[in-house]
Amino acid sequence: MQTKILLAGATGYLGRYLVQRLLKQNGPFIAMGRSIKKLESMGLETQQIRLAQVTDPISLAGCCHGIDVVISCVGITRQKDGLNYMDVDYQANINLLEEAERSGVKKFIYISAFNAPNHQSVRMLYAKEQFAQRLLSSQMLAPCVIRPNGFFSDIEAFYAMAKAGRAYLFGWGEVKVNPIHGEDLARFCLDIAELGSPSMDKIGKGKEIKVKQTWRPLQDKREFAIGGPDVFSIKELAQLAFKAMDKPEKLLHLPDWMRRLALAIAKRLPEKFGGPAEFFLTVSGQDMVAPAYGEHHLLEHFKSLS
């Protein structure tokens, strides 16, 4: 019998790649979101769509009936509708988890963020980790938390700067990161949902990563950290963007005290204005290298944006 999946947050960046892969697999699944137009535009049939507002427990009633695995990509990056991180990243996921527990769902997979437990002063990551810990404590289903590094879409900011003619870097740009493409992460998530572990043929062999040493679940196959196959310094990301456009490099190095000052200011601003900056300025101040996975490479992605 095929695994039936409920995908929450289907219209977001990762959700769209998950939908594409689920459609190709032609297995049973339900994509949940708020906009019927967005869901239909993704090629979904009526029977594959569930309209719901995850912040409203009543609208979730019955959504998990007959579901084997829930995958939640629910979260906000830019606040709107008067909602904050605790409203969505925490409480909305709690609403969904409780519905899943009542319905006898076998597994619940939550997409969090890399190193979230280490940055609990960051409001976005605090909300994510509060839910992750509640999920991991569940005794009614098999919990799984996937902690991905930054997405390729996040790194497009470097392409935009290069296109404008100059890239701005904090310090000497030595901080390292291995971003991951949404399609690779979608495959990983569905392998976890259907097989219980990732397909090892897609484990990355990027530079500066020793896969045998770094690739492992964080805790008893319940938590997985994951990044893309290639590690870059921030400076190399900017250089790669210029290379993709065949333009001469123009880099401006800003002293790191400017990042620290901006972070201190962002922390004092309301979430709506300071939340995204607080997250970015925090993670850009230290190496963020996760276990490698995938087959998509950033240079090709940058070239595809031209």
Banded model confidence at residue 197, pLDDT cuts 50, 70, 90 = low
pLDDT for the residue 82: 80
Domain ranges of the chain: 5-148, 153-178+230-304
Position 234: which residue type?
Answer: I
Among 121-125, 205-209, 221-225, the range with the most confident prediction by mean pLDDT is: 121-125
pLDDT for the residue 23: 96
pLDDT for the residue 195: 75
Cβ distance 5 to 18 under 8 Å? Answer: no
* Mean pLDDT, all residues of the chain: 91
Nearest-angstrom CA–CA distance, 181 and 188: 11
pLDDT above 70 covers a percentage of the chain that reads 90
Q: Which tens digits make up the pLDDT trace of 129-160?
A: 999 999 999 999 999 999 999 999 999 999 99
pLDDT for the residue 10: 96
Q: Which tens digits make up the pLDDT trace of 88-133?
A: 999 999 999 999 999 999 999 999 999 999 999 999 999 999 999 9
Cβ distance 50 to 216 under 8 Å? Answer: no
Mean pLDDT of 231-255: 96
Contacts 24+ apart (CB under 8 A), 26-33: 27/2, 27/3, 28/2, 28/3, 28/4, 29/4, 29/5, 30/4, 30/5, 30/6, 30/63, 30/67, 31/7, 32/6, 32/7, 32/8, 32/63, 33/9
Nearest-angstrom CA–CA distance, 232 and 46: 42
Nearest-angstrom CA–CA distance, 73 and 88: 11
Q: Which residue has the higher pLDDT, 190 or 211?
A: 190
Alpha-carbon torsion (108, 112, 115, 120), positive or negative: negative
Banded model confidence at residue 181, pLDDT cuts 50, 70, 90 = very high
User: Nearest to residue 154, comparing CAs of 300, 304, 303, 298?
Assistant: 298
SS3 36: helix
Candidate from 28-37, 104-113, 193-202, 281-290 with smallest mean pLDDT: 193-202
Strand extents, DSSP E, 52-103: 69-72
Q: Scanning the structure block, which residue is given the tokens 């005794």?
A: 139
153-178+230-304 topology per CATH: UDP-galactose 4-epimerase; domain 1 (3.90.25)
Q: Which tens digits make up the pLDDT trace of 259-278?
A: 999 999 999 999 989 999 99
Cβ distance 178 to 210 under 8 Å? Answer: no
pLDDT for the residue 210: 36
pLDDT above 90 covers a percentage of the chain that reads 86
Residue 215 has pLDDT above 90, yes or no: no
Residue 208 has pLDDT above 50, yes or no: no
pLDDT for the residue 205: 46
State the DSSP code for 3: P
pLDDT for the residue 194: 82
Position 256: which residue type?
Answer: D
The CATH number of the domain covering residues in 5-148 = 3.40.50.720
Q: Which value, to the nearest 10 degrees, does the dihedral of the CA atoms of residues 53, 55, 56, 62 take?
A: 70
